[in-house]
A = this chain, B = another copy of it.
Amino acid sequence: MVKYQDETLDRTFAALSDPTRRALLARLGEADGLSVSELAAPFPVSLPAIMKHLDVLADAGLIVREKTGRTVSCRLTAQPMEQAMNWLNRYAQFWADNLDRLAAFVEEETWPTQPSTPPNDQRNAQASRSRAGFAHGRKKSTPPGRKPSS
């Protein structure tokens, strides 16, 4: 029961450790539901390579793919991220001692660059909408409509 979560965390972090995969997620963040080939277009690697990355992302539960006709569209999912977040959050506490700079850092907007750089696609510095907080003003106002988890 705990083991499963652990493995999910493994796969989540592992999936995030590749820049191409982070870039894929980034693209989906900008435009969810892109097809595999649309998704692959900006990258300098072969389609099969992208396919494998998508496999990894799907395996980690970070995306889902659904086929419609001959095209497959990919959408983001977030459950695994919660766990990753939680893990990091937990350690933020430990480290807050030595550097409460961390809290400030995240609280502010200190993003010198974009989160990921699609290998060729160099049109950057656009998505930095900053506002790093994700748990700021809004509380748990809207009860999660899906997957009550509690």
Contact = CB atoms under 8 A, between A and B. Distances in A.
Given A89-B133, A135-B106, A144 B100 contact: yes
Contacts of A131: 93
Nearest to A4: B113
B2 A117 contact: yes
Interface stretch (A9-17, A42-50, A66-74): A9-17
A6 interface: yes
Contact of A97 (B22, B87, B95, B146): B146
Interface residues of A, number: 77
A6 B31 CA distance: 22
Contact of A94 (B10, B76, B87, B141): B76
A144 B101 CA distance: 5
Interface in A1-34: 1-3, 5-6, 9-14, 16-19, 22, 25, 29-30
A35 interface: no
A139 B96 CA distance: 12
Interface string A111-150: 1111111000000100001011111101111111111111
Ordered nearest first, which 10 A-B pairs have the shortest CB separation? A101-B144, A104-B140, A92-B134, A13-B17, A14-B17, A29-B94, A78-B95, A96-B144, A13-B16, A100-B143
Given A2-B124, A99-B144, 10 more contacts: A5-B113, A78-B98, A81-B95, A82-B106, A85-B132, A96-B148, A97-B144, A104-B139, A104-B144, A106-B134
